[in-house]
Amino acid sequence: MNTNKTPPKSIQMNDLLKAWVVLVALTLLGYGLSLFSSELLVYVGPLIIAALILFKARIILTRYLGLTRCPAWLSMLSSMIFALTMICAVLLTFVSAGGTQ
């Protein structure tokens, strides 16, 4: 019986820093998008924001929570976040498009 346990892989600070920089950049991109006012953004804006949310959620799930070690949880949570984000984005697109007509 082998009782030697290998230590878990530690997350390097450089990887977390890179993930944090990407998260900040995506947040600033979303904020910058909110400053523009255009007829096209009324329809496409919520979908772009939804895509940014999905990218950020995926980074958080993989880098910070370390769910790459448990693909079933990663897949389930990613699917749930995707479904809820798309429902909200579609509803927001219809509501904002209805207010401009």
Half-sphere exposure of residue 22: CA atoms within 13 angstroms, side-chain side: 17
pTM of the shown model: 0.71
As a whole number of angstroms, the distance between CA 42 and CA 54 comes to 20
Query: What does the pLDDT look like over 28-83, one tens digit per residue?
Result: 998 888 888 777 777 787 788 888 989 999 999 998 888 889 999 999 999 999 99
| Backbone CA torsion sign across 83, 85, 88, 94 | negative
What is the distance, to the nearest Å, from the Cα of residue 87 to the centroid of all Cα atoms in its chain?
A: 15
As a whole number of angstroms, the distance between CA 66 and CA 17 comes to 15
For the chain, the structural domain boundaries read: 43-95
Query: What does the pLDDT look like over 2-31, one tens digit per residue?
Result: 565 554 555 577 888 899 999 999 999 988
